[in-house]
Chains A and B, each alone.
Chain A
Amino acid sequence: MGLAKRIIPCLDVTAGRVVKGTNFVDLRDAGDPVEIARRYDEQGADEVTFLDITASSDQRDIILHIIEACAEQVFIPLTVGGGVRKVEDVRRLLNAGADKVSMNTAAVQNPDLVAEASAKVGSQCIVVAIDAKQVAPGRWSVFTHGGRNDTGMSAIDWARRVEELGAGEILLTSMDRDGTKNGFDLGLTRAVADAVKIPVIASGGVGNLQHLADGVTQGRADAVLAASIFHFGEYTVRQAKEYMRDQGIEVRL
């Protein structure tokens, strides 16, 4: 027995609300991110990730207040991503109570940001999010700006590069699978997980509990992230963990 594979519910937040909504029957306010994070904590989530999808910069501070409120009530690791451009953004989020900060487009545009941020606050706080799309068999390209721009860069090469720059973890999303409920891109997940020595979180495409298990057993992910299967009450985090345990995967129950 040893380290447990992690299950991480992800909340998309804008203007202070969880966007996709949830279907928890007994929540007073299904769109309140703090209340939803608390619920996931109670269900045994290993971490919670907030993705700030706010478009306008004048609303950016709202996420800070959410994290502050969350840090007073939820005592598991909190990761925040979205709109992080500068080391100062990282610091503000950490000071508000985030444990890890995820960067995506800004890291591609300015790889020094990864190096600078991890040197300042420690690698363990810096997650690089990679959005990847298959462009040929066994080849995935990194996309930025929410999947609109093809960088032409290989996802595997970029993963190795950010590891060298000091990233402590990689959040790997398959653009092909995101929102499909067809399961993770296991080829992509395994290729990246085997290419780096830092933990890899698989994301994009979870539609059932077998998908979560496959991400670990076949994709060799260290953690699996999902949104809608938990939000809409299809499964609780605890059910997911029991299912994975029954497949021989080590989880925290």
Chain B
Amino acid sequence: MPAGTIAVIDYGMGNLRSVSKALEHVADGRSVVVTADPAVVAAAERVVFPGQGAMPDCMAELDARGLRQAVIDAAASKPFLGICIGEQMLFEHSEEGDVPGLGILPGQVRRFPDAAMAAADGSRLKVPHMGWNEVTQTAHPIWSGIAQDARFYFVHSYFVVPADEALVIGRAHYGVPFTCAVARDNIVAVQFHPEKSARDGLQLLANFLAWRP
């Protein structure tokens, strides 16, 4: 495996092709591998942990493929990017299916509350929250070159509620204010899909590849 490899963890959930192609687009010739092999994850310089679907299924598949420890080790040791369910799984517990997460970051995963889903004109805010929403940034290298309040593409019904406010580096609003980006040490994780967020999404991925935490 070439030095500087970027590993995209494959546990059978989600559109990994989109993630890997977007990374390749900004990788400047560095190798991007989609892998289910813990040894490849361990040897990679950087790790991307994507996810799509329901969190209970994602957790089950992660364990079925023997990847839990590889994710925990990577999140403890090298530049690590969680995307969507890959962000949610880093936390302690999810309301979705009432399942525990990996517990790498303190906090919960909650569903958009039905009672708050009303728009100003009286119509209903739809769940899943699907489409382009504005992200209010807190200073972090991952936002380099991206305008404050730039829009990113979201598709989700659940969001993270970190126990520690210091983890929050991005917020959005949909019926309720919610956290959409977190960071700690070598970890950064986002609820939206940078791989589907056009120019700003590619910039975020490029920033991750350049990041030296």
Could you tell me which A residues sit within 8 Å of B by CB distance?
1-6, 41, 46, 68, 71-72, 75-77, 94-99, 121-125, 168-169, 193-194, 196-200, 220, 222-223, 252
- A96 lies within 8 A of B132 (CB): no
Interface of A is mostly: loop
- B127 lies within 8 A of A197 (CB): yes
Stretch at the interface among B1-9, B69-77, B197-205: B197-205
Query: Which residues of A sit under 8 angstroms from B153, Cβ to Cβ?
Result: 46, 76-77
The closest CB in chain A to the CB of B156 belongs to: A124
Query: Which residues of A sit under 8 angstroms from B133, Cβ to Cβ?
Result: 2-4
Q: Which of B25, B149, B151 contacts A75 (CB 8 A)?
A: B25
B124 at interface, CB cutoff 8 A:
yes
Counted as pairs of residues, one from A and one from B, with CB atoms less than 8 Å apart, the total is 105
A-B contact pairs, 11 of them (CB 8 A): A3-B174, A4-B131, A4-B132, A76-B153, A98-B15, A99-B196, A123-B128, A124-B53, A124-B130, A197-B127, A199-B126
- A222 lies within 8 A of B134 (CB): no
Query: Which residues of A sit under 8 angstroms from B117, Cβ to Cβ?
Result: 197
- B25 lies within 8 A of A122 (CB): no
Which 4 residue pairs spanning A and B have beta carbons closest together? A122-B53, A252-B132, A124-B155, A199-B126
Stretch at the interface among B16-24, B40-48, B100-108, B181-189: B16-24
Q: Which of A1, A3, A75 contacts B198 (CB 8 A)?
A: A75
- A169 lies within 8 A of B130 (CB): yes
The closest CB in chain B to the CB of A124 belongs to: B155
Could you tell me which B residues sit within 8 Å of A by CB distance?
13-15, 17-18, 21-22, 24-25, 52-54, 117, 123-134, 149, 151, 153-156, 172-174, 193, 195-198, 201-202
The closest CB in chain A to the CB of B173 belongs to: A2
Interface of B is mostly: mixed
Q: Which of A2, A41, A71, A198 contacts B126 (CB 8 A)?
A: A198
The closest CB in chain B to the CB of A253 belongs to: B151
Known: A72-B21, A75-B196, A75-B197. A46 touches B132 (CB 8 A): yes
A123 to B201: give the CA distance in the assembly, Å. Answer: 23
Query: Which residues of A sit under 8 angstroms from B21, Cβ to Cβ?
Result: 71-72, 97
Query: Which residues of B sit under 8 angstroms from A76, Cβ to Cβ?
Result: 153, 196-198
Known: A197-B126, A197-B127. A124 touches B197 (CB 8 A): no
- A99 lies within 8 A of B173 (CB): no
The closest CB in chain A to the CB of B16 belongs to: A95
A153 to B182: give the CA distance in the assembly, Å. Answer: 46
A124 to B58: give the CA distance in the assembly, Å. Answer: 14
Known: A124-B155, A194-B123, A197-B124. A71 touches B18 (CB 8 A): yes
- B131 lies within 8 A of A223 (CB): yes
A96 to B130: give the CA distance in the assembly, Å. Answer: 21
